[in-house]
């Protein structure tokens, strides 16, 4: 009987080896999937920050133009179709991508309608997934895209922003202060409001 037991154990040992090897492979495969997921998440975070940085830089530039745009026929269209200093927005996007260990591949600025402008950023991580049981991952970089939108919050109130009375004020009386309506609330423009009150910046995908 002892001989049969030893024979059974000898036959079972290769099965144990195969099972352990299989479990180890699965463990390493799950680890590789986790590495890939972390790389993709890192790329997405870099893309989000790059797009937002470009939009926020453009917002700083557009702020001083708002009042002229609001009081000029077609001014809101021109505010965005005239564009922004793309070199500055691109440099800001590249800077924030680098802070997140990624390279900015492209930055696509587009008017998004009246009072809207979008920046679509595409990035690639500087690092790779790393070595794993899955071939090729040591050369696999994470890539991602993100789009941020600047949206004007303001417009002129129904009276045109210069008081409730349509009658012109006498020349000896200072004109009423100009106001704009932002998110449903009247806002005086002297001093000029902060750009955060004039524009919203958000990710749209």
Residue 160, in any domain of the structure: no
pLDDT band for position 52 (cuts 50, 70, 90): very high
User: Do 120 and 110 touch, CB atoms closer than 8 A?
Assistant: yes
pLDDT of residue 159: 54
Q: What's the pLDDT at 108?
A: 93
Q: Tell me how far apart the alpha carbons of residues 172 and 83 are, in angstroms, rounded to a whole number.
A: 40
Q: DSSP labels for 85-102?
A: -HHHHHHHHHHHHHHTTE
- Residue 186 in any domain: the answer is no
Q: 134 in helix, strand or coil?
A: coil
Work out the mean pLDDT of the chain and round it to a whole number.
74
Considering the domain boundaries, does residue 13 fall inside one? yes
Q: Is residue 54 part of a domain?
A: yes
Q: Which of 2-16, 95-109, 159-173 has the lowest mean pLDDT?
A: 159-173
What is the mean pLDDT of the segment spanning 44-66? Answer: 89
pLDDT at 163: 44
Say whether pLDDT at 100 is over 70. Answer: yes
Mean pLDDT lowest among 20-34, 89-103, 160-174, 183-197: 160-174
84 falls within a domain: yes
Average pLDDT over residues 188-193: 72
Measure Cα distances from 114 to 24, 60, 62 in Å.
Answer: 58, 18, 14
Under a CB-based contact definition with an 8 Å cutoff, are residues 49 and 96 in contact? yes
Q: What percent of the chain has a predicted confidence (pLDDT) above 70?
A: 58
Q: Which domain holds residue 45?
A: 2-147
Residue 177 resides in a domain: no
CB 92 within 8 A of CB 54: yes
Instruction: Tell which residue, 182, 197, 188, 194, has the closest CA to residue 162.
Output: 188
Residue 183 lies in a domain: no
Q: Residue 35 has what pLDDT?
A: 65
Query: 110-159: per-residue pLDDT in tens?
Result: 877 767 889 999 999 998 765 554 555 566 778 899 999 998 888 766 65
73 belongs to a structural domain: yes
Task: Calculate the alpha carbon distances from 75 to 28, 65, 79, 155, 187 in Å.
Answer: 59, 9, 6, 11, 19
Number of domains present in the structure of the chain? 1
Task: Please name the residues in contact with 23: beta carbons below 8 A apart, sequence gap of 6 or more.
Answer: none
């Amino acid at each position: 009987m002892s001989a049969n037991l030893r024979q059974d154990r000898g036959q079972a040992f290769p099965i144990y080896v195969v099972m352990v090897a299989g479990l180890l492979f699965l463990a390493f495969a799950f680890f590789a999937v986790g590495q890939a997921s972390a790389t993709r998440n890192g790329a997405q975070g870099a893309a989000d920050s790059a797009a937002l940085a470009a939009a926020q830089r453009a917002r700083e530039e557009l702020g001083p133009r708002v009042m002229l745009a609001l009081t000029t026929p077609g001014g809101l269209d021109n505010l965005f179709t005239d564009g922004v200093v793309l070199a500055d927005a691109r440099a800001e996007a590249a800077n924030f991508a680098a802070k997140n260990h990624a390279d900015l591949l492209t930055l696509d600025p587009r008017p998004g309608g009246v009072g809207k402008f979008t920046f679509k950023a595409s990035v690639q991580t500087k690092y790779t997934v790393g070595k794993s049981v899955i071939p090729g991952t040591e050369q696999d970089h994470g890539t991602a895209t993100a789009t941020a939108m600047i949206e004007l919050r303001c417009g002129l109130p129904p009276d045109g922003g210069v008081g409730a009375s349509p009658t012109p004020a006498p020349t000896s009386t200072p004109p009423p202060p100009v106001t704009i309506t932002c998110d449903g609330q009247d806002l005086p423009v002297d001093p000029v409001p902060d750009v955060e009150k004039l524009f919203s910046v958000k990710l749209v995908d």
